[in-house]
Amino acid sequence: MTFIQRYLAVTLCLLISPVPAVLAAPADTQPAGQINALIPAATLNAKTAKAKDLLQWNDLLKTQHTGRLRVGLTDGSMLSLGSDSELKVVQHDTATQQTALEMNFGKIRSQVVKVTQPGGKFEVKTPNAVIGVIGTDFYVGYSNGQTTVICYTGKVWVLPSGNAKVDRKPAEASAAEGTILVSAGQMVVISDAPPVAGYQSGPTPRMVQQTSIEATDTQPPPGVAAHAPAHILRYVLLGTGIVGALAGAAFGAIAATRKSKRCNPKTGQCG
Q: Which helix (H) or strand (E) holds 5?
A: helix 3-16
**pLDDT score recorded for residue 177:** 67
Please compute the mean of the pLDDT values over residues 62-68 and round it to a whole number: 95
Give the three-class secondary structure for 240: helix
Q: How confident is the model at residue 236 (pLDDT cuts 50, 70, 90)?
A: very low
* 208 and 233 Cβ atoms separated by less than 8 Å: yes
* 93 and 56 Cβ atoms separated by less than 8 Å: no
Across the chain, mean pLDDT equals 78
pLDDT at 13 over 80: no
pLDDT at 149 over 50: yes
**pLDDT score recorded for residue 241:** 40
Please compute the mean of the pLDDT values over residues 134-140 and round it to a whole number: 91
**Higher local confidence (pLDDT), 198 or 57:** 57
pLDDT at 69 over 70: yes
pLDDT at 104 over 80: yes
Tell which CATH architecture fits domain 26-229: Sandwich (2.60)
Determine the Cα–Cα distance for residues 204 and 154; give it in Å rounded to an integer: 14
**pLDDT score recorded for residue 91:** 97
**pLDDT score recorded for residue 60:** 98
**pLDDT score recorded for residue 167:** 86
**pLDDT score recorded for residue 220:** 65
Q: Which residues belong to CATH 2.60.120.1440 in the chain? A: 26-229
**pLDDT score recorded for residue 208:** 87
pLDDT at 8 over 70: no
Please compute the mean of the pLDDT values over residues 163-188 and round it to a whole number: 82
Q: How confident is the model at residue 145 (pLDDT cuts 50, 70, 90)?
A: very high
Q: How many CA atoms lie within 13 A of 25 on its CB side?
A: 7
